[in-house]
Amino acid sequence: MKILVTGGAGFIASHIVDAYISKGHEVVVVDDLSSGRESNLNSKAEFVKMNIQDAALAKVFQNAGFDIVNHHAAQMDVRRSVDDPVFDASVNVLGTLNLLQNCVANGVKKFIFSSTGGAVYGEQDYFPADEIHPTWPVSPYGITKLTCEKYLFYYKQAYDLSHVIFRYANVYGPRQNPHGEAGVVAIFIEKLLAGQQAVVNGDGKQTRDYVFVHDLVRANVMALEYQESNVFNIGTGKETDVNTIFRSLNQVTGANLAENHGPGKLGEQLRSCITYKKIEQVLSWRPEFNLEQGLKQTVESFK
C-alpha cells in the first residue's frame, strides 16, 4: 500500500513509518519539522517538508495515489493550546480538514487518526475510562482532538471515508523529545543522565497511564487491514504516579539523586487512566511492554 504519514519525523509517527516500511509499504512523510527531527526520518520514505495547512498539500495528494493517510501531525502542547487556542485550532482542526478534503478529492480509502485518551475524557467519572466515557475536555487541545473525531464521523457518513481513531494514553519511549511539551519520562531521563536535579511537580501523586511507543506502533500496523470504522483506546489500564516514575528512573539510570518536589502546576489533571479492553476484543491488541521494560529501553536509547 501507499501511505501518507503526517508528522512522520516526530517521536511517535517516525516509529510507525519504520514499521510500515519494514512491512513492505511505500511511505511518504509530510512534516514541517516544527517539532520533528530529520534524524528520525527513515531513509526509505519520501519526505516532503510542508505544513498540513498548506494549500500545496493538494499537489502531494494528486501525484501520489495514497491508499491510506495516517495523521499524527499536531499542535500537541496543552499549555500552548490554553495560551493560544486560535493557533491550536488552526493546526489541529483546519490542518486536519485540509487533509480530509484532499482524501475525498483523491479517493483515499482510510484515515488513521491519533487522538488523546487523557485530554478528551477530561476529569474522569470512573477509572479506567472506556470509549463510551463522557467526553468533556478541559483544554483547547482536547477540544480540537474531539472535534476532529466528530469530523471523521461526518466524512464517513458523507463520503464513505473509513477511519480508525486511536485515543492514546501517555506515550513514552525512544526518540521522545525532552524539550518543549514533553512527557515526564523524557524530561526525567535527560536530567538524571546528566546528573542534574529533576523536579517533581507538587506532591507527585498525580497519575497517568504510561504506554510504550512500540505497543502503539503495533496498533497502527493492525489498523491497515481493519475494515471497519471505529475508535479505540490505546493504554495499559494501569495508573502510575509521578513519584513512581521518578524513583524507577532514578534507579535505572543509576543517578541516585534526591527526590525534589516543586510547586504544582495549576489546572493539572489529577488522575488519568484508560482501558484497552475494546481493542483487545476487536483486534486482539494488548500492551506487551510493562513499565519496567519500557523505561529500561527508553533509558538505553537516551544514553
- Which residues fall within 8 angstroms of residue 94, CB to CB, at 6 or more apart? 53
| In the block, residue with C-alpha cell 473509513 | 162
**Distance from chain centroid for Cα 124:** 20
Per residue, what are the HEC states of 116-159? EHHHHHCCCCCCCECCCCCCCCCCHHHHHHHHHHHHHHHHHHHH
Q: Which residues pair with 201 in a beta bridge?
A: 262
C-alpha angle 115/238/186, rounded to 5°? 65
Annotation says 141 is catalytic: yes
Q: All 3 cell numbers of residue 184? A: 515526564
Which one of 141, 155, 210, 276 is the catalytic residue? Answer: 141
Q: Which of 159, 61, 151 is nearest to 109 (CA)?
A: 159
The C-alpha torsion from 257 through 187 and 202 to 251, rounded to 10°, is -30
Active-site residue numbers?
141
